Structures are given as structure tokens and as C-alpha cells.
Structure 1
Amino acid sequence: MVTCIAAASSTATATLEYSTLKKPNRTQLFPTILTFSKSLHSKFVTAVVNHPSYVIPRLVNKTNNRIRCCTSPTTSTTTTHYEFSDGPIEVELRLALGDGDLSSKEVSVDANENSLVVKISRFGSVQTLMDTNSLYHKINPGETIWYIDDDQLVINLKKQDPELKWPDIVESWESLSSGLVQLLKGTSVFLVGESTEINEKIARELAVGLGYTPLSTRELLEGVAKQTIESWVSAEGSESVAVAESAILESLSSHARTVVATIGDGHGAAAKTNNWRHLFAGFTVWLSESKATDEGSAKEEVIKHIKDGVRGYSNSEVVVKLGGWDATYSKSVAQASLSALKQLILSDKQLPGKKSLYIRLGCRGDWPDIKPPGWDPSVGTDASRSTV
């Protein structure tokens, strides 16, 4: 089970959960989207959808703004070829119908905000051309238009967010990594959590997908100190390691297009609530192992952590709950992180710009309520105004 929580803004949080089931030669994910206010007093709004992660488009040909792909649908053993193009207010999907005449009465198109099911009935059987509960983003289902054009079924889907560019029709590793590059606008990503190993593994996956530079504060510190973090902790204590890592994070805070894996095991700077000044320069993801046995208890665990705010990790903008750890599924964890980051940024498209401003003003620790230039974090006043 992988649970993702993305802080949508100062007043709301969006949650995605993925349960990972091992099946022969494939992994299936079932995400749940949940929103709640940080006051924790509002009711939960939950929508459960299926995400067949093993149905990942394979790029066949790309010309201009149209992508030709092929996928194996979840309920059909045949291969469905489709063309996809992104427009200013809608996306167009063209599905191959194969040989033979087909009337509109034999076609079924069922569209909802996040899902699309396309079936054809002929020769006494039903064939599924597409079945996805994971469209790249929300559509207006009531404005869906479709028609038959020779040997293709053409479906026009109206985007809820006209400004958002769709790399593909479905949310997959390829479409998320491509789409997040545009949304992040160079903003770095910091991975925090109890396990240094997990942080580093997922950082490498994300860096490859985004085309970012992977960095490890553990490797940087061990290179300078010429000793392992474990021996450092034994000799000088974890506080000394946290101080040294804070200095590294200060240097990295001005870097763009990096995925930084921080030190876990409670030894690093991120474990302390007062060491987040420079972590806020990027989008922060908490990769948290959980002992919860089901999604409900995982939700309660996350809510408790956010409400208590005892751990420094609870300052994170995205939380990914891991029901156990298996490096084999690191790409699934990375994909879940990208999906949560996408929802976070789409909830407030000004976030990357605010991160940039926060860095330019010196990462003074005033995130997310950025104070005017001249603000003195040591006294909590606006020095520039006090001298006027």
C-alpha cells in the first residue's frame, strides 16, 4: 500500500492512496483521492477509482502535436491503437476500429471526470477499446463529443483546466514525468523520511523521469568527512550530523532542477522541526513507512502526524505512506509522488513562483507566508518598514 498526501494550499490537503497488489508479471494500483482541511474539522470527501498501471502507453510515432500510441486494454486481449492530440480547450482521442462497417448504435462511450470506457458491440460480442479510471486530468463529461471517421472512433474531451497541457490521455509514469517538468518550472524536490535508503532510491527514479540531477546529502557529507554517517553519529551524536546537513541544504537551496535525498533514521536535519528553513526552497515529499494494515488506518496515522506536528517530517507538502518497502516497486512509489505533486501544484499554480521568490529573498523561514524584503526572522519584524 502506498498512500500519498499533497498539501494543496494553506487551507486544504489532497490525498492519494495506492494499494500495490503483486500479480504475475504486473502490478496493479488502486488510488483513492481524499481532500480535507488542515483544521481537520471538515468531513472527508472520497472518490475511489481504479488505476491499471500495467496499461502504460508505448510510444510508436510522434508527429507535431499528435502522439500515436498502443496499449493493451484491461478487459481485452487485443491491442488497441490510438492517436492523441492536445488542444487549447480539449483533447482528441482517435481509436482504431478495425475492419468492417460499424454504426453508432454499436459504440458505447462512457465518460466521467477522471475515467473513460469505450466499448463496441458487434458479431454478438463486446470488445473494450479503452478502459481507464486515470485520465491525465479532469474533463467535463457532459461536453464529450464522439463520431466515427472511416475506420476510427474520434472522441473529443473538454478539459476542466484549459491551461493544462496533456502529454497523453492517461496518467502514467511517462505522462507524469513529462507533465511535471512543465509544472515544476525548475523547482527542486527534497525527499525526507525515516529511511535514507528509500529517499535515495526514489530520488534516483524521480531524477531520471524529470531529467533532474539526483543528489544525496549522505554522500556529500560522507565525502567531506571521510567517514560514514553511522560512525559520525557514534562519535559526535546525531545533532552534529543534523547541523552539518543543514549547511549542505543551505548550499543546495539555490540550486534548480535537482532531486535531493536527505538523511533518515532520525539523524538528519529534516527530523527537527526547526531545521526546515532551506528545505522549503523546494517541494518536499515525506516517504514514510507505515505499520498500518489498511488504507483507513493509514489515513488516521497521517492525520495524527500532521495534527501533532511533533516530527519535522510533518512539515512536508506531500506525504507518501509505504505499507512495507520493496525496492522492486520503487518506480510505483515515484509515480505516486509525481501524481501527488501534480495535484499540489494544480491546486495553486503560483506555488513554483512563490518558491522562486522565497529563494531570492534568502530562504528566511517565512514559508508559506512570505514577508516583505527586510523582514528579520530573528525578531519577526519587517525591518524595512520599521525604519521608514
Structure 2
Amino acid sequence: MGEHRAMLPRHIEASQISALLDSLGEPQPDHIEPLQVTAEYHAIFILSYRSPKADWILRVSGAHIPEIKTRNEVGMMKTISEKTTIPIPRVVHFDASTSNSLGHEYTILERASGISVDKVYDTLSELTKHALMQQLLEVLVQLDALQWNFIGGLAAQDDGSVVPGPVVDETFWQTSDIAEFWGPAESVETLNVQGPFTTFVDYCNAHLEKYIHMIKTHESMRWLRDLIPRLQATITMATDRAIALNDTRLILAHRDLHFANIMFDPETERISSVLDWEFSNIVPAARWNPAHAFLWNGQAGPRSLEEKARLYADFERQCKQRQILVDYKFTPLQEAIQQVVTYVRALTEVCPRAQQKDSVAGWRRSAEEALESLGV
């Protein structure tokens, strides 16, 4: 996507943070420190208290995806805290509006204990790596046990309740990208699906309708406009075959469960916290790991991918032995319509930016092959 960091909040003063804490009836910290990290969606501050000794993390959001991303993260964390034993930071306060002394959305979380696994991965023994994989498997088992009847997010409300919410996805067109590549006629709402959706067919059709709109609208996708009748026919076909297509399990998926999002205690070798739930969603089970991030060690290069594949093979063996998480698969019909959605999404993501020029022809062919398998 675009330069997310360009949208980060600038010049948040300590006095603004102090005013925020006063408005919340919270004590003033003994120390406020900006955290020097390359976060794409937040400016982060550590609020340190000496007595009682504690640290809070203040995450001040940019305006990338207004309101729904903050509400989704808090809604997910509240739900995980109430319905599972998965360790996560406690949400202290949040505001999904900009009507506060910071002028931005924010969350205040208790600081997670432990150390990020990706920082020490190369020093870990095989036994420790295996133990961490086993613990993540148990995280997935707990998520699998929750029951859902919609596809989308979980939106925290100002009164503390959590309700079904819209889809939130890192691949969304975000405000800075829209301003640069689309102009004032478009918005986060016009270019991205909303939801929640009652069925898989409703979810897929909503995507296809957005892609048709984008292909019609943006000049860079003129070469794709001959696909529009076939995409419209796919919507009709999906509606006609809804019973078969909608027969899929729905699960709450973190969707970015790599080791940079896992904190652990080196002494006990136990996971102490699972972080970053902002793009978690309730999805068809086959879409639990869409970016194939699960078990990635946070490092770049082919060796990292080989290591992830090695651990993942062990994970799959464990699932088969225990007969758990083994039904996370689409039927051929479901897979075909998902392939149409996936490849057309990729085209509508990169064409307006004039990116991936060597790939787009192949992506179109893949979309057409999926359309052919659907008979449209």
C-alpha cells in the first residue's frame, strides 16, 4: 500500500498527553517517552509509573482507516480477554474519535511483559521453538472454539459493549492512497467493503461489486473492463449457488500471527502476550492465514521462509495427529470464487499505482482461469 508512515500523528506534546490523562481521571506518569519504532499506523508512547510500578502504552493512530480500525482492535481484544485465556494486554482506555486533547484516535494498553520472539529467534533452541509452536497451536484451538454467524469485525462501542462490525483489512484503500490515486470523489467507504456480512456469498459479492466500481472508474484499469460482464455473471452465479458456497465454517482469525507479534518469557518459555489484533476478523476458516504469516520469524530472506516452512510442516503434523484444525479448507467451488476475488483485488490494488507491471498480466490470466472454472 502507500506510505503509511506519512500519515502518522506529528508533534504530540507531553502536555497533550497529560491533558488526556486528566480528562480520563488517571494519574500523571512519572515519565513519558516516545517509542522509537517503525510502526506504520501509530505513534507510540510509554507512560511509566514508579508507584505502583507499571508501564502503559499509548498508541496514537493516524487517519489511515478512520474509526473502524480502532474499534475493531479494541473489540477483538475485549472479546479475546472475556472468552479465552489467550494472554493479551489489557485495554485501559480508547477513543475512536478525534475529539480529545490529542486530536487523534488512541488506545491505552498495559505494557506486555516479556521479549518479542523475533528479536531472539536465532538464539532459541529447537525445543523452545517447538514449545512456542505448540503454544500457538493452543491459541488457534481456543479461537476455533468460538462460534460466529457473520463475516466481519468486532466493533467496541463507547459504552463498553462489543457488536458485529465491518470488515477491516490491511489491503484496504486508505486515506492517503485515496487522496493520491483516486481524488475527492472516492473514500474509504466507496472503495472498500463494509459489512458485517451474513454469508460467504454476500462477502464475495460485496468485493466483486467494489472491484467493478473501481475498474469502471479508474483509467488505469480500462484494459480490464471487458471482464466486467463476467464479474457480474459471477455475482449472479454465486447468488444462485448460495447454499453450496455458504457451507463454510467461520472463525475469528488474528491473520498476522508471526513471531514479531508474540511476546514470551525467556525463563518460563511461555508466551506472555499476543499483540496487534487491529486487522483480525471473523472469516471463513480457509482464510485464517491469508498472508501466510503464521510462524514467520520476522526476518527477511529465503532462509527465513525455509524456517517458516519447516515449522509449519511440524504444525500440520501436530494438527493431523490430534485431529484438530484439519477442516480449514474450501471446496473447489468456494476456492474458485475466492481466487477470482483475490486476483481481481490484486489488480485493483496495483494498477492505479502503476505498480507490479510485470505481474498484472499473469494475475489477469489467473482470474480468468478461475472465472472459467466457475463457468462464467
Name the TM tier (shorter chain). under 0.3
Q: Which has the higher strand share?
A: 1
TM-score of the two chains, using structure 2 as the length reference: 0.23
* Bigger CA radius of gyration: 1
- Kindly indicate which of the two structures has a greater share of residues assigned to helix: 2
